Amino acid sequence: MTRTRTFLIRLLILEFCAAAAVTVILLAGMASRLSLPWKNFLQAQALHPVSGTFSTVIAFLLAAVALVSGIRSELGGFALLCLATALLILGASLTALLHGLFLDPSAPLLAILTAFVVIAVFRATGSGSRDAALGRLFGQRLGREHFRRLVEGGAAVDFPGELVEASVLVCTIHNHVELMDVLSPTDYVALMNLYLRTASDFLVDVGGYLDECSGESLRVVLGAPLPVTGAPNHAAKAARVAVELVTRLEELNRECDRRWQQRLDFRIGVNSGPMIAAAFGGSRIGRYSVSGPVVEFARHLSAACAQYGCRILAGPLSYDLASATVEGRPIDLLQRAGSRRRVELFEFLAPKDSLSTERERSRDLFWKGVILFRERNWDEALRAFSSARIPGIPDRVLDHYLERVERARRGEDEPTPEQAILAESV
């Protein structure tokens, strides 16, 4: 409500300035003198009876509309100026040609130009320049409400660099090469764009910052450049968003199956911790972004999902901060060669307290099996994993651990290349 009130106050002040300038123009008769050559060119016999009233009312209305459009978007304001100019000139010309009467368009046109002069002055001020500078950095990658919060905040617009605590969500399509092989280029692009639009619109609408958007992946930041709202912390927000994103993409897959007989193999990595947030690049490619090991590890988590068979793979801090709001289960315990540090990975399953009784039983038995596996109690681990199976429901993570138990019993449970890469990136 405060941000809306600020915008309205700003608009009223600018409208008053534009209205004052338009009033001076009308009282001085400048509009009439400017319109006389155009009237003679059209060979109009006289002014239309409503010309004066029409010109005055339309002038003030267009000034207000031009101000709103110009404040929100320079491109939108310019488009409005061109469209209004064309319509006014066309209307005046048709009235003169068909009826011999002149409908004076000069006052409305001068009102639009006056409004944009006011906008230009406004953009030269500190408040106006924030809009333009932040617009160049963030574009459509941040939701409108969050962008207004950023504009009206006190942070510097150059973002020279700071260490922030935030969460990163990376969503990648693992079967994009296969899709390229079986689909025509047009169908492949249509499918991928449908995915990118669906996922990016949702992620931005819930308050994420769309840091990267390529042909096969998305990277979203929660907690920067603004703190999260509607959740206890950025990791809890990221966890709930990731779970909801899985639901939405599963629905999208049904649409893809219907239209192209293909499905997206999407995987999500979530990681939290300190990262550098700054405006990277120059005037041509400059934008706000985040960088650091935490960000890179989120990408590795997304890539490792396919190996473990899960949709969402999260780092330890993400799970610790989000465990009160989502259900999860342990996936692996990584240790870098030559290091004592261990990092545990988790899978996010569903919102807290939303699992059915049967799924809770399965999750608890799976958790018990993982503990027994780490204790090298192969028989008991195998029994727990087997009991965790829900008939008729596929569970690739469970399949993964059943295979690991069998390999471990044969002394063959060596880290896979993917696990080694993941451990090295810890």
Task: Tell the burial category of 401 from Cβ atoms under 10 Å away from its Cβ (0-12, 13-18, 19+).
Answer: buried
Q: Are 236 and 322 spatial neighbours (Cβ–Cβ below 8 Å)?
A: yes
Residue 186 has pLDDT above 80, yes or no: yes
Q: Are 242 and 270 spatial neighbours (Cβ–Cβ below 8 Å)?
A: yes
pLDDT band at 247 (very low <50, low <70, confident <90, very high): very high
Residue 164 has pLDDT above 90, yes or no: yes
Sign of CA dihedral 57, 60, 61, 63: positive
Q: What is the pLDDT of residue 276?
A: 96
Q: What is the pLDDT of residue 381?
A: 94
pLDDT > 70 in the chain, percent: 60
Strands in 4-56 per DSSP E: 46-47
The C-alpha atoms of residue 311 and residue 245 are separated, in whole angstroms, by: 10
The C-alpha atoms of residue 194 and residue 200 are separated, in whole angstroms, by: 10
φ/ψ (deg, to 5) at 213? -150, 100
Q: What is the pLDDT of residue 3?
A: 44
Query: What is the three-class DSSP state of 393?
Result: coil
The pTM of this model reads 0.70
Q: Are 238 and 313 spatial neighbours (Cβ–Cβ below 8 Å)?
A: no
User: Residue 85: how many CB atoms within 10 A of its CB?
Assistant: 15
Q: Which helix (H) or strand (E) holds 348?
A: strand 342-351
The C-alpha atoms of residue 92 and residue 35 are separated, in whole angstroms, by: 11
179 Cβ neighbours under 8 A, 6+ residues apart: 173, 188, 191, 192, 262, 264
Q: What is the pLDDT of residue 349?
A: 96
The C-alpha atoms of residue 272 and residue 290 are separated, in whole angstroms, by: 12
Average pLDDT value over all residues in the chain = 79
Q: What is the pLDDT of residue 325?
A: 95
- Phi/psi-derived region of residue 205, left when phi > 0, alpha when psi is between -120 and 50, beta in every other case: alpha
Sign of CA dihedral 29, 34, 37, 38: negative
Q: What is the pLDDT of residue 338?
A: 63
Orientation of helix 293-308 relative to helix 417-424, angle to 10°: 160
Orientation of helix 74-99 relative to helix 106-124, angle to 10°: 170
The C-alpha atoms of residue 154 and residue 134 are separated, in whole angstroms, by: 12
Among the listed ranges 32-36, 112-116, 145-149, which one has the minimum average pLDDT value? Answer: 32-36
Q: What is the pLDDT of residue 226?
A: 87
pLDDT digits 0-9 by tens, 259-289? 999 999 999 999 999 999 998 876 666 788 9
pLDDT digits 0-9 by tens, 31-59? 555 555 555 555 555 444 444 455 555 55
Among the listed ranges 24-33, 147-156, 260-269, 345-354, which one has the minimum average pLDDT value? Answer: 24-33
pLDDT band at 195 (very low <50, low <70, confident <90, very high): very high
Task: Tell the burial category of 137 from Cβ atoms under 10 Å away from its Cβ (0-12, 13-18, 19+).
Answer: buried
Query: What is the three-class DSSP state of 157?
Result: coil
The C-alpha atoms of residue 401 and residue 376 are separated, in whole angstroms, by: 13
The C-alpha atoms of residue 209 and residue 146 are separated, in whole angstroms, by: 9
Residue 416 has pLDDT above 60, yes or no: yes
Residue 281 pairs in a beta bridge with: none
Side-chain-facing half-sphere of 93: CA atoms under 13 Å: 7
Q: What is the pLDDT of residue 48?
A: 44
Q: What is the pLDDT of residue 1?
A: 42
Among the listed ranges 12-16, 197-201, 270-274, which one has the minimum average pLDDT value? Answer: 12-16
Residue 383 has pLDDT above 90, yes or no: yes
pLDDT band at 227 (very low <50, low <70, confident <90, very high): confident
